[in-house]
């Protein structure tokens, strides 16, 4: 029995990196594509992903597509003196050796006219298009309505390293 539990733990340990899924596409590494579950009847939803560019040349995220919604765009949400403002973000540069993070309260893949609710535990495909790297299909995992995309705890830890909530662009 004990051996079985140990084996189980070992299997889980191996499975974990896969859960926080990564996908390589040319010089780009797309890390942990996830969406927030949507409330009943909601016609809009959002997905997030971290995009790392390990190449020597900048690339540009030019658009997104998905079958689950009538219209898909990259949007930027920002808090301007207490007013939440949302608008299409336009092309987004991924700097050479840089990272752009799509995350809550910042840049996101916006689904408009959802054909069905996003249910926790489901996955669905989204295609991101980059100017240089071309299209890449991601499997987006649906997390809880209160999800924050962080894998190190529950929803309470939202925000402590989230800065001012802009879609952050930084080098590494």
Partner 1 sequence: MNRRVLLVSGLALVAAAGIGASYILNDRKMTETLAVGGPFRLTGTDGQEVTEAALKGKYSVFFFGFTFCPDACPTALNTFTLMLQKLGPAADMVQPVFVSIDPERDTPEAMKAYLESFDPRIIGLTGSPEAVAETARIFRVYYKKSGEGEYYLMDHSTAIIVMDPDFHYAGVMNGAMPVDEMTARLQEIMQKGS
3-state class (DSSP) for residue 154: coil
Beta carbons of 68 and 134 less than 8 angstroms apart = no
| Residues of this chain, 18-47, that bind partner 1 according to CB under 8 A | 36, 38-46
Would strands 28-36 and 134-143 be described as parallel, antiparallel, or unpaired? Answer: parallel
End-to-end CA distance of the chain: 45
163 binds partner 1 per the rule CB under 8 A = no
| Rounded least distance, CB 29 to partner 1, Å | 24
Q: How far apart are CA 88 and CA 102, in angstroms?
A: 13
- Name the phi and psi angles at 67, rounded to 5: -75, -15
| Rounded least distance, CB 139 to partner 1, Å | 19
- Choose one: 51-59, 67-75, 90-98, 124-132; the region binding partner 1 (CB under 8 A): 67-75
| Residues of this chain, 108-147, that bind partner 1 according to CB under 8 A | 108, 110-113, 145-146
Contact residues for partner 1, defined by CB under 8 A: 36, 38-46, 70-71, 75, 77, 79-87, 104-105, 108, 110-113, 145-146, 155-159, 165
């Amino acid at each position: 029995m004990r051996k079985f539990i140990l084996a189980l733990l070992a299997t889980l340990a191996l499975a974990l990196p896969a859960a926080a899924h990564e996908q390589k596409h040319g010089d780009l590494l797309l890390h942990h594509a996830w969406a927030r579950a949507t409330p009943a009847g909601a016609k809009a939803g959002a997905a997030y992903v971290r995009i790392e560019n390990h190449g020597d040349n900048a690339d540009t995220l030019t658009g997104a597509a998905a079958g689950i919604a009538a219209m898909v765009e990259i949007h930027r949400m920002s808090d301007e003196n207490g007013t939440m403002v949302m608008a299409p973000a336009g092309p987004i540069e991924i700097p050479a050796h840089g990272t752009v993070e799509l995350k809550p309260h910042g840049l996101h893949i916006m689904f408009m006219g959802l054909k069905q609710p996003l249910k926790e535990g489901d996955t669905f495909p989204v295609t991101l298009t980059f100017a240089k790297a071309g299209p890449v299909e991601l499997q987006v995992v649906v997390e809880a309505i209160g999800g924050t995309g962080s894998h190190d705890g529950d929803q309470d830890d939202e925000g402590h390293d989230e800065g001012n909530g802009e879609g952050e662009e930084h080098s590494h």
